[in-house]
Amino acid sequence: MDKMQPSGGVLHTKSAMRRTWPNRIFAATYLIAIFALIFHHCRNIISTTDRTTRSVTITMLVADLVLAFMWTTRQAFRMSPIRRQVFPENLTVDSSEYPALDVFVCTADPYKEPPIGVVNTALSLMAYDYPTEKLSVYVSDDGGSQLTLFALIEAAEFAKHWLPYCKNNNLLDRSPEAYFTSLTNFGTVKHDQIKVMYERMKMRINNVVERRSIDGYVTDEEAHRTFAIWQSTPGFTPQNHPTIVQVVMESATEKDNGRQMPNLVYVSRDKNKSTPHNYKAGALNVLLRVSATMTNAPMVLTQDCDMFSNDPKTPLRALCYYTDPKMDPNLALVQFPQTFHGINKDDIYGAELRDIVFGNCYGMDGLLGPLYIGSGAFFRRKIFFGSPGSHIPSQPSDSHHHVASKSISSVEVMTMARHVAGCNFEAQSKWGSEIGFRYGSLVEDYNTGYRIQCQGWRSVFCNPVRPAFLGSSPTTLHDILTQSKRWSMGLLDVTVSKYNPLLFGVQSMNPLQAFCFGHYAFWPIWSIPYTTYSFLPQLALINSSPAIFPKVTDPWLFMYVFLFLGSYAQDLIEYVTYGSTAKRWWNNQRMWMMRSLSSFPFSIIEYIQERCGLSSFGYNVTSKVVDREQSERNEKCIFEFGVPSPLFVPITMAAIINLWALVHGMKQVVMGNESLEDVFMQMFLAGFGVLNCWPIYEAMVLRTDKGKMPLKTTLVSTSLAWVVYLGSSFAF
C-alpha cells in the first residue's frame, strides 16, 4: 500500500494554529505566577507561629503543587497544536490500487449493547465507498451470544438491498437507523420498500433479544447447524465456551451471484475461566490473527459497536496519508475523533469530551501524533508486529501465507482461524506485551497508542468537517462516573508500571509527547487539589478559623485572581474555539469537579484493593440501553442520579459543606463577627461550589422524579458531612 502513486495534487496539508505563540507566552507568564504562589506558601509556613495555620498552609501547598504539576504536563498539548486537511479528490481514481481494508468491530454484551446497534454499525461500515472485494468486516463478540450472530445473519440479508440502495442514491447516512430517523418525508417506492425491510429486520432482532432466545426464528437446516454449537456445548456461558468463527457473508461467493458485497465474519473467541482474556485488547488481537488467516488486509480499522460510520468516504481520507509516498514511513495510525450523537443540548455530563478528543489531539498532532482513542482508527497492520526497523511477519506464522488466497470459508482457512482464536494460542508469546494491542491496562487504547509511539511509530489526527463516526456516550451520571473510574484505573495500570510516561516515556520519545501521555497517566491525582479546594477552605470558614487566603486589600490576592481566572479563561476559550459553547464548557468543568471528587479517588481505592488481591473489578461495559423516562430527562438536561451509589456520596458531601459554609459565612459577615475583607476568598470559593452543585441540591430536595437523588445517598452523605465537620472542629 505504500507504492501507490497519487494522480497529482496534494493529498494533505498541515498548518500551525494561530494560538501557538499566545499559548507559549501565556504559559511563561503563568509559570511565574505559579512560582510566586509557591514562594508565598513557603514564606507563610516559615513565618507563622500558629500550628493550625501551618498545617492548613502545608495542605494547600500540596494541593497547589499537584495543580502546578498537572498544569505543567498540560502545557505540552499547547506548545505546537496543528490542524490538518486532506484532499481525497486528489487520490488516484484507479481503485484497483487501493489497499484492502479489514474493519474490526467489538461488542461484548447483547443486553448492554443491543445487537441492532451492532448491526447498524456493521452495515454502515460495509457500505463504505470502497472496492467491496477489498473490504471485510469482522465482528468480535465477547458476549458469545447467538443473539448477536442471529442479528448479523439478518443484517447480511438486508445488506444485499441496503448496500446497492446506498450506492445508487449516494447516501451519506449509511447506518439505516440514522438514515430512516433523519428523514421526515417519505421517499420513493424503493425507499419505502427498504424501510419496511429494515423495520422487519429490526423487529426480528429486537424480539429475539427481548425473549433472550432465537427459538422459532431459525427455521432452515443450515441456520440450525450454525447455531448448533451453543446447544452442543455443555455449560456454555459468555466466559466459558469454544471458539466460534462464522463467515456470515463472503465477498467472492456474492460476486459469483452477481452482487458486490464485502466479507462479514463473526468471531467469538475461545474463553475459559482460567485464562485471562484481556478484555477488548484480547478481542482485537484475536481479530488481528483471524483476519490474517482470511484476508490479511494491510490496513485495519478498529471500531466500537456503538460508533457507526457517518461518512462513506472516510477510508479515502485515511488513504491520503497511507498512499502518499512522501509521508513519514513510520506512520502507524490515522485517528479520527469520536463524535457523539444524542448528547443533550448543554451536554451536562461533559460527554462530548471536546478538550480530550479534539484539543488534546490537535496538540499531540504537532508533536508525534494523537493518542489512539479506541475507535475510528486506521492502522497499518504491520505496526502491530514490531518497531519501525524490524521485520516481523504480520501473520500468526509464516506458514499461512498461502492461505489468504483460498476461500475464506474453506475448511483449511476455518481450521486455522479457529486455531488462532484459541485460548492457549498466546501462551508464552509476545502478544499483548510486544506485539498486537497491549495488555495490562483497562484503557487498552491509551496503552497501545503510547507503547507503539515509544517504539518509534507516528500517528496523525484527521478531523473532517462532517464527523467520520458518530457514537453513543453514557446518558446517566452513574454511568459516566463509572466510565471515568474505569479509565482512571486503566491509567493507573500504566502509571504504576515500568512504562510510566514520565520515567520510561521521556527516554523513548519526544519529552513533550511523553508529558502529554503523562498528563493522562496522572489524571487520578486531580482528586487531591479538587478535594482540598472543595472542603478545606469551607471547613475553615465554618469553624471561623484564621483566614487561608490573602485579604481583599492584600496585593497577593491578585496572584490568586490571575491564576484562577487565567486558567479558567484559557480553558473556556479553547473549549469554545474547538467547536463548543460556553454553557457546555461550564458543564464540562463541573464534570471535572465531579470526576475528581468521585471517580478518581474511588479508582485509587479500588486499584489498591485489586493490587492487594482483595477484590477484582474488571471491565464494566457501558450500557447503551436507555429507558424512555431517563431519556426524556436526559433531553431536558436534567441530571440522572436514580440509583443509590457510593460514587454520589463525595459530591453530595461537597454540596452540603459548601452550602453550609456559604450560609455560615454570610451570617457571620452580616452579624459583624467576621469582616468580608478577611473571608472574601473563602466565601467566593464556597459560592463557586454552590453554583456548581446546584443540580445536586435540586436532586436532593426539589425533585420527585425517578432520577432524583436516592434518599439513602442523601442520608449517608449528610451523616458523613456531619462527621467531617465534627472532625474538622477538633482540628481547627
Ligand X SMILES: O=c1ccn([C@@H]2O[C@H](COP(=O)(O)OP(=O)(O)O[C@H]3O[C@H](CO)[C@@H](O)[C@H](O)[C@H]3O)[C@@H](O)[C@H]2O)c(=O)[nH]1
Task: Confirm or reject binding of residue 606 to Mn ion (CB under 5 A).
Answer: no
Residues contacting 705, CB < 8 A, separation 6+:
629, 633, 638
Q: Residue 107: what are its φ and ψ, rounded to 5°? A: -140, 160
How many residues bind to ligand X according to rule CB under 6 A?
23
What is the C-alpha to C-alpha distance for residues 493 and 499, in angstroms, rounded to an integer?
Answer: 10
> Which parts of 178-237 interact with ligand X (CB under 6 A)?
none
Cβ 121 to ligand X shortest distance, Å: 9
Segment 454-493, which members bind ligand X (CB under 6 A)? Answer: 483, 487
Q: How far is the CB of 521 from Mn ion (least distance, A)?
A: 21
- Contacts made by residues 713-718, CB under 8 angstroms, sequence distance 24+: 713/641, 713/644, 713/645, 713/648, 713/649, 713/652, 714/652, 716/649, 717/648, 717/649, 717/652, 717/653, 717/656, 718/652, 718/656
List 142, 311, 365, 493, catalytic entry: 142
Binding-site residues from annotation for Mn(2+) = 280, 304
Whether 364 contacts 495, CB under 8 Å: no
Supply the minimum distance, in Å, between the C-beta of residue 307 and Mn ion. 7
Grid coordinates belonging to 381: 497492520
Q: Annotated binding site for UDP-alpha-D-glucose, which residues?
A: 112-113, 142
Report which secondary-structure segment, H or E, holds 531.
Answer: helix 527-542
Is residue 445 a contact residue for Mn ion (CB under 5 A)?
Answer: no
Nearer to ligand X, 87 or 617 (CB): 617
728 binds ligand X (CB under 6 A): no
Numbered residues of the known binding site: 112-113, 142, 280, 304
Classify burial at 468, counting beta carbons within 10 Å of its beta carbon; exposed 0-12, middle 13-18, buried 19 or more. buried
Nearer to ligand X, 150 or 308 (CB): 308
Binding mask 587-626 for ligand X (x = CB under 6 A): --------------------------------x-xx----
Q: Which one, 129 or 142, has the nearer CB to ligand X?
A: 142
Name the binder of 283 from Mn ion, ligand X, none, CB < 5-8 A by kind: ligand X
The alpha helices in 244-302, defined as continuous H runs, are 251-256, 279-294
Partner in contact with 375, chosen from Mn ion, ligand X, none, beta carbon below 5 to 8 Å by kind? ligand X
Select from ligand X, Mn ion, none the partner in contact with residue 722, using the beta carbon and a kind-dependent cut-off of 5 to 8 Å. none
Measured in whole angstroms, how far is the alpha carbon of residue 71 from the centre of its chain? Answer: 22
Q: Are 91 and 319 in contact (CB under 8 A)?
A: yes
- Taking the C-alpha atoms of residue 607 and residue 232, their distance in angstroms, rounded to an integer, is 39
Which does residue 106 bind out of ligand X, Mn ion, none, counting CB within 5 to 8 angstroms by kind? ligand X
Spatial distance between the Cα atoms of 614 and 607, rounded to a whole number of angstroms: 10
Are 156 and 119 spatial neighbours (Cβ–Cβ below 8 Å)? no
The yes-or-no answer on residue 192 being catalytic is no
Site stretch for ligand X (CB under 6 A), options 161-169, 299-307, 496-504, 584-592: 299-307
Contact of residue 435 among ligand X, Mn ion, none (CB under 5-8 Å per partner type): none
Alpha-carbon distance values, 116 to 13, 147, 203, 249, 634 (Å): 38, 10, 9, 18, 22
Among 64, 113, 177, 306, binds Mn ion (CB under 5 A): 306
User: Of the listed 141, 445, 479, 493, which one is catalytic?
Assistant: 445
220 classed as catalytic? no
Enumerate the active-site residues.
Answer: 142, 445
Q: Which residues bind Mn ion (CB under 5 A)?
A: 306
Q: Which residues bind ligand X (CB under 6 A)?
A: 106-108, 113, 140, 142, 279-280, 283, 304-306, 338, 374-375, 443-445, 483, 487, 619, 621-622
